[in-house]
């Protein structure tokens, strides 16, 4: 690969200020040889395209107090760096104690100024990391928060406001600790996904069991999974049966019974049986690895509100800094005011110049919502899609495999004459046992469920497009559609009423009979999911105004399914290209429209819609790649949950942005009459940042089961 197209992944630890991280990302992008650099501010993952110089990037990071290291492919599943002594906390505590002692000495220490060295100690302890970052950032003309704080503290000392300077240093140290704590809570939601899978697995090797790190496991290796253990890798069961708890991947509340040949996923739990599982995917290719990667990368697809905030912040900081310079010089030089009060006000305005709360207002809310959705079996591939879902006015569903189960089942067995129901079904199964047609499989399955054992008919023959025939008890019996009997010259007049009734219900009807008499009819249909009607009702309750079904089936079948599912309208007999046209028409008619399909044959329609939602993402790579949102289990009830979660996220984002802007506006206006002190400015900035972060973290409490009950 050419050097300028190479990708390198770095881990950036120590991010507490989103605005500062944004500036760091911009500086990395400006380094020579780098085509593009993208920093996920919450996870700390930095992806760099082009010629990279680790030492140069690390030097840039020092200006913000970041620790940066190269991430190797095999290290992606490992935990973060080891815990270090929290010197920032110790210095903050000592700074607070020094500030209290200095204040006591100033008020009650008598003559002289014994408090000055103690105030100085409080400033050095509280502002140590701040000053260090400022020294590294200032030569690059990077006016980050550390530079602004350092100027404010030094300025306060210069005009004799020792108490103010020490208070600012102490409060900013506390502010950074609290911001780091709240940011860590946001990161933890993603780390919980990473911690789902075990770091080692037990392999069967020459008759013995050995424990091996997951990075060293290869495809075709055999894992031994004991009862109660987590499965470490995606694979296929080769021995044993058990119920697998897949809630971590698919959000399903009940364990799924599985046996030999069934697929299992890393991060799921084996409940009661002992299993031997053949590994089918390497650790970086497992379903959970893809989910984690997509959740991490979701931040890169910025939501409209996030793009607005970042543009606003880029303009806001330099404007406020220019205003601070104006306040410093204009009143004393041109209006004859004293220098000291206006220097103080200028310093206060500098403190307000960093839009921390505003910058953090959107991404934490988005990541909290996306992480929560992933833990509930819904993969949202970007903040832009999270916001779009909340503003949908219509949802279009594919029928087969979405509103229906996607497999034919026997719905009606209608004997004609003296034959019993079970006998009729058994004769049909005997005829179909050598057929590979989906209808044949559904009839055989129905017979087996009643305890029947199919015996192949003699002289079996398939009649393409019509049905089958064969000898049973030395008598030729036919099973097929009306065309088969018409071609045999047998009149359907005596059964036409019942035939029309079943077909009007959208069912495919197979007639069983001989040339002399009809024995009965068997109707099959693609069964509507039990959750479909409840989901459609819940979507309407959630504010979706129009629910549409798109299908390639005939109008009778479409009408019957639409009635059972409760959709507002349907369009039948559509080819894949017709679905594309239908989605375009819906977009023109209703504005924002989501398309829900299986992610394979619906790919064009999914891509054209405002938001493409794919079913069954856990085992389908196509669904993960095609759709903007994937339902990891075939659970339609997760759709209303996703809508509600999105709307809650939009509400939280609006609350955060409004609150942040009001706080900043009030702070700026309070500077001019002198109401805003330096320590109060720090307190306001710190408080606003923490409040919007905690408000965003509320989204982690939204649960899918609540929405399921509502549906």
Cross-sheet strand order for the sheet of 269-270: 256-258, 242-245, 269-270
Question: Of 620, 618, 580, nearest to 600 (Cα)?
Answer: 620
Ramachandran sector of residue 141 (left: φ over 0; alpha: ψ -120 to 50; beta: rest): left
Q: Are 133 and 64 in contact (CB under 8 A)?
A: yes
Count of C-beta atoms within a 10 Å radius of residue 621: 12
Q: Measured between alpha carbons, how far is 320 from 322 in angstroms, rounded to an integer?
A: 5
Cα 429 vs. chain centroid, distance in angstroms? 46
Dihedral pair phi/psi, residue 680, rounded to 5°: -70, -35
Q: DSSP secondary-structure letter at 401?
A: I
| Residue entry with tokens 């630890």 | 13
Q: Measured between alpha carbons, how far is 514 from 58 in angstroms, rounded to an integer?
A: 84
Q: Are 368 and 349 in contact (CB under 8 A)?
A: no
Cα 194 vs. chain centroid, distance in angstroms? 13
Q: Measured between alpha carbons, how far is 490 from 453 in angstroms, rounded to an integer?
A: 30
Question: Of 448, 284, 298, nearest to 363 (Cα)?
Answer: 298
The kind and range of the H/E element at 404 are strand 404-415
Q: Are 554 and 574 in contact (CB under 8 A)?
A: no
| Residue entry with tokens 């530079």 | 147
Question: Of 484, 528, 523, nearest to 503 (Cα)?
Answer: 523
Strand partners, 462: 468
- How far lies 465's CA from each of 63, 412, 468, 486, 495, in Å? 74, 21, 9, 13, 21
| Residue entry with tokens 């984002």 | 653
Catalytic status, residue 568: no
The kind and range of the H/E element at 235 are strand 235-239
CA trace torsion 97, 98, 99, 104 (10° rounding): 90
Dihedral pair phi/psi, residue 457, rounded to 5°: -75, 155
End-to-end CA distance of the chain: 51
Choose the catalytic residue: 19, 234, 398, 635: 398
The kind and range of the H/E element at 395 are strand 394-398
Q: Measured between alpha carbons, how far is 194 from 351 in angstroms, rounded to an integer?
A: 37
Q: Which two tokens mark 607?
A: 């891509």
The kind and range of the H/E element at 352 are helix 339-352
Q: Measured between alpha carbons, how far is 600 from 620 in angstroms, rounded to an integer?
A: 9
Count of C-beta atoms within a 10 Å radius of residue 145: 27
Runs of H (alpha helix) within 195-283: 247-250
Q: Are 477 and 424 in contact (CB under 8 A)?
A: no
Q: Write the DSSP assignment of 613-650 as a string of letters.
A: EEE-GGG-HHHHHH-SEEESSS-TTHHHHHHHHHHHHH
Q: DSSP secondary-structure letter at 230?
A: B
**Which residue numbers are catalytic?**
398
């Amino acid at each position: 690969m050419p050097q300028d197209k190479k990708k390198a992944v770095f881990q950036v630890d120590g991010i507490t200020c989103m605005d500062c991280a944004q500036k760091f990302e911009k500086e990395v992008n400006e380094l020579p040889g780098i085509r593009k650099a993208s920093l996920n501010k919450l996870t700390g993952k930095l992806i760099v395209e082009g010629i990279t110089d680790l030492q140069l990037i690390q030097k840039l990071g020092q200006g913000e107090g970041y620790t940066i290291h190269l991430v190797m492919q095999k290290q992606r599943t490992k935990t973060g760096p080891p815990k270090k002594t929290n010197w920032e906390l110790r210095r903050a505590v000592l700074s607070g104690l020094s500030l209290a002692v200095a204040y006591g000495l100033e008020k009650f220490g008598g003559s002289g100024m014994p408090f000055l060295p103690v105030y100085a100690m409080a400033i050095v302890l509280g502002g140590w990391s701040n000053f260090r970052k400022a020294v590294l950032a200032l030569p690059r003309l990077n006016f980050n928060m550390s530079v602004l704080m350092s100027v404010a503290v030094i300025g306060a000392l210069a005009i004799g406001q020792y108490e103010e300077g020490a208070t600012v240093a102490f409060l900013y140290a506390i502010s950074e600790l609290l911001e780091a704590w709240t940011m860590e809570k946001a990161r933890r939601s993603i780390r919980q996904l990473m911690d789902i899978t075990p770091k080692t697995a037990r392999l069967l090797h020459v008759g013995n069991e050995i424990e091996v790190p997951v990075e060293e496991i290869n495809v075709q290796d055999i894992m031994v999974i004991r009862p109660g253990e987590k499965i470490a890798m995606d694979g296929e069961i080769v021995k044993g049966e058990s119920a697998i708890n897949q809630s971590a991947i698919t959000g399903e509340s009940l364990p799924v019974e599985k046996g030999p040949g069934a697929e299992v996923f890393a991060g799921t739990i084996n409940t009661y049986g002992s299993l031997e599982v053949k590994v089918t995917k390497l650790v970086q290719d497992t379903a959970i690895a893809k989910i984690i990667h997509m959740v991490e990368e979701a931040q890169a697809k910025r939501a409209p509100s996030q793009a607005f905030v970042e543009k606003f912040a880029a303009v806001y900081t330099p404007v406020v800094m220019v205003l601070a310079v104006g306040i410093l010089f204009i009143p004393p030089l041109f209006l004859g005011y004293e220098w000291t009060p206006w220097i103080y006000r200028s310093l206060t305005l500098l403190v307000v110049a960093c839009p921390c709360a505003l910058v953090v207002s959107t991404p934490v809310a988005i990541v909290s919502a996306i992480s929560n959705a992933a833990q509930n079996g819904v993969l949202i591939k970007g903040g832009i899609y999270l916001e779009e879902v909340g503003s949908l006015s219509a949802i279009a569903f594919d029928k087969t495999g979405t509103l229906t189960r996607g497999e034919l089942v026997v719905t009606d067995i209608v004997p004609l004459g003296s034959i019993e129901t079970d006998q009729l079904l058994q004769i049909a199964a005997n005829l179909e046992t050598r057929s590979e047609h989906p209808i044949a499989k559904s009839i055989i399955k129905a017979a087996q469920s009643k305890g029947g054992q199919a015996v192949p008919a003699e002289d079996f023959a398939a009649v393409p497009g019509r049905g089958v025939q064969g000898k049973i008890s030395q008598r030729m019996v036919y099973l097929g559609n009306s065309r088969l009997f018409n071609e045999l010259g047998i009149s359907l007049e005596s059964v036409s009423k019942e035939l029309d009734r079943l077909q009007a219900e959208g069912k495919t009807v197979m007639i069983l009979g001989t040339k002399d008499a009809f024995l009965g009819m068997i109707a099959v249909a693609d069964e509507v999911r039990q959750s479909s009607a409840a989901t459609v009702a819940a979507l309407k309750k959630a504010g979706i105004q129009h629910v549409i079904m798109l299908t390639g089936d005939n109008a009778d079948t479409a009408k019957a399914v639409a009635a059972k599912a409760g959709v507002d309208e349907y369009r039948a007999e559509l080819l894949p290209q017709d679905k594309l046209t239908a989605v375009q028409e819906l977009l023109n008619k209703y504005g924002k429209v989501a398309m829900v399909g299986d992610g394979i044959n619906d790919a064009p329609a999914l891509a054209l819609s405002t938001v493409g939602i794919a079913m069954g993402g856990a085992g389908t790579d196509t669904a993960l790649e095609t759709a903007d949102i994937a339902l990891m289990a075939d659970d339609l009830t997760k759709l209303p949950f996703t809508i509600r979660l999105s709307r809650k996220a939009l509400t939280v984002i609006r609350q955060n942005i409004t609150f942040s802007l009001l706080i900043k506006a009030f702070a700026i206006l309070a500077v001019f009459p002198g109401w805003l002190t330096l320590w109060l400015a720090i307190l306001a900035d710190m408080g606003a940042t923490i409040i919007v972060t905690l408000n965003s973290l509320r989204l982690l409490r939204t649960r899918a089961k609540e929405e399921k009950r509502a549906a």
